Chain A
Amino acid sequence: MGSDPSRLWRTATYAVPLAFLALFFAYPLLSILERGLRADGSLASPLGVLTDPLTRDVVWFTFWQALASTALTFAVGLPAAYVLGRFAFRGRSVVRALVVVPFVLPTVVVALAFLAVLPAGLERGWIAILIAHAFFNVAVVVLVVSTFWASLDRRTSEVAATLGAAPARNFREITLPLLAPSLAAASSIVFLFSFTSFGIVLILGGPAYSTIETEIYNQAVRIFDLRAAAILSIVQLICVGVAVWITLKLEAFVVVGAGPRSERDVLRKPRTSRERGLVVGALGLLAVFLGVPLAVLVERSIAVGDGYGLDAYRALARPTSALLATPWEAVWNSLLYAGAATVIAVVIGGLAAFAVANSTGPRALDVLLMLPLGASAVMLGFGFVIAFDRAPIDFRAAPWIVPVVQALVALPFVVRIVAPTLRAIDERQREAAAVLGASPGRVRREIDLPIVGRALAVAAGFAFAISLGEFGATVFLARPDTPTLPVAIFRFLGRPGEINAAQAYALAVVLMALTAASIFAVGRLGVRRGWV
Chain B
Amino acid sequence: MLRAEEVTVRFGERVALAGATLEVARDEVVAVLGASGSGKSTLLRVIAGLQRPDSGRVLLDGEDLAPVPPHRRGVGLVFQEHVLFHHMDVASNVAFGLRMRGDAGRKIARRVRELLELVGLHGFERRSVATLSGGEQQRVALARALAPEPRVLLLDEPLGSLDRPLRERLLEDLEALFRELRVTALFVTHDQAEAFALGDRVAIMREGRVVQVGTPDELWAHPADTDVARFLGLANVRDGTVVRPEAVTVRHIGAGDGGDGVVESLVRHGPTVRLTVRLDDGSQLDAAVTSLEHPAPGERVSVEIDPAGIVRL
How would residues 79 to 97 of chain B score, 1 for a CB under 8 Å from any chain A CB and 0 otherwise?
1010101111000000011
The segment out of B31-39, B70-78, B192-200, B228-236 that lies at the interface is: B70-78
Q: What is the distance, in angstroms, from B157's C-beta to the closest C-beta of chain A?
A: 13
Instruction: Say yes or no: A435-B70 contact (C-beta < 8 A), given A442-B100, A446-B96.
Output: yes
Contact B96 A436 (CB under 8 A): yes
**Complex formed: what's the CA distance from A435 to B73 in Å?**
7
Contact status B83-A451, CB under 8 Å: no
Let me know if A432 is at the binding interface, CB within 8 A: yes
B96 touches A435 (CB 8 A): no
Distance of A220 from chain B, by nearest CB (Å): 48
A437 touches B101 (CB 8 A): yes
Contact B97–A434 (Cβ < 8 Å): no
Kindly state the interface size class of chain A when it binds its partner. Answer: 10 to 19
Number of A-B contacts (CB under 8 A): 64
Task: Please indicate the chain A residues that have their CB under 8 angstroms from the CB of B100 in the complex.
Answer: 433, 436-438, 442
Beta-carbon contact of B71 and A434 below 8 Å: yes
Task: A466 to B101: give the CA distance in the assembly, Å.
Answer: 44
How many interface residues does chain B have, given as a range? 20 to 34
- Across chains A and B, which 9 residue pairs bring their CB atoms closest together, nearest first? A437-B100, A436-B97, A434-B70, A435-B77, A428-B83, A450-B87, A434-B71, A432-B83, A437-B71
Are A432 and B77 in touch, CB under 8 angstroms? yes
Interface of A is mostly: helix
Given A436-B144, A437-B97, A438-B71; A431-B85 close (CB under 8 Å): no
Rounded to whole angstroms, the CA-CA distance of A442 and B70 in the bound complex is: 13
Q: Is A178 in contact with chain B by the CB < 8 A criterion?
A: no
Across the two chains, which residue of chain A brings its CB closest to B75?
Answer: A435
Binary B-proximity of A433-469 (CB < 8 A = 1, otherwise 0): 1111111001000110011000000000000000000
- The verdict on B210 contacting chain A, using a C-beta distance below 8 Å, is no
| 12 CB < 8 A contacts A-B | A428-B79, A431-B50, A432-B77, A433-B85, A435-B50, A436-B100, A436-B145, A436-B148, A437-B72, A437-B100, A437-B101, A451-B87
The answer to whether B101 touches A435 (Cβ under 8 A) is no
With A442-B100, A446-B96 as known contacts, state yes or no: A434 contacts B83, CB within 8 Å: no
Q: A435-B75, A436-B71, A436-B100 are in contact. List 13 more A-B contacts (CB 8 A).
A: A428-B81, A429-B85, A432-B79, A433-B100, A434-B50, A434-B69, A435-B49, A437-B71, A437-B74, A437-B101, A438-B100, A439-B71, A450-B88
> Which chain A residue shows the least CB distance to B73?
A435
Which residues of A come within 8 Å of B, CB atoms? 1, 426, 428-429, 431-439, 442, 446-447, 450-451
Q: How distant is A369 from chain B, measured CB to nearest CB, in Å? A: 26
Are B48 and A435 neighbours in the complex by a CB distance under 8 Å? Answer: yes
In the complex, A74 Cα to B285 Cα: how many Å?
69
Q: Which of A429, A431, A434, A436 has the most CB of B within 10 A?
A: A436
Contact A431 B87, CB 8 Å, known A437-B101, A438-B100, A442-B100:
no
Q: A428-B83, A447-B85, A450-B87 are in contact. Are A435 and B69 (CB under 8 A)?
A: no
**How far is B81's CA from A433's CA once the two chains are assembled, in angstroms?**
15
Min Cβ gap B206→A in Å is: 26
B83 contacts A426, C-beta separation under 8 Å: yes
Given the complex, which residues of B lie within 8 Å of A428, measured CB to CB?
A: 79, 81, 83
Could you mark each residue 112-123 of chain B with 1 if its beta carbon is under 8 Å from any beta carbon of chain A, else 0?
A: 000000000000
Residues of B within 8 A of A435 (CB): 48-50, 70-71, 73, 75-77, 145
A436–B69 CA distance with the chains assembled, in angstroms? 11
| In the complex, chain A residues whose CB is within 8 Å of the CB of B76 | 435-436
Which residue of B is nearest A451, CB measured?
B87
Nearest CB in chain A: distance from B151 CB, A: 12
Cα–Cα distance between A439 and B97 once the two chains are bound (Å): 11
Chain B's closest residue to A428 (CB) is B83
Residues of B within 8 A of A429 (CB): 83, 85
Q: Which of A431, A432, A435 has the most CB of B within 10 A?
A: A435
Interface residues of B in 111-152 (CB under 8 A from A): 144-145, 148
Query: Shortest Cβ distance from B87 into chain A, in angstroms?
Result: 5
Residue of A nearest to B72 (CB): A437
CB-CB nearest in chain B for A434: B70
Nearest chain-A residue to B78 (Cβ)? A432
Q: How far is the CA of A218 from the CA of B48 in the complex (A)?
A: 65
Write the nearest CB–CB distance from B137 to chain A, whole angstroms.
Answer: 13
CA distance A1 to B70 in the complex (A): 9
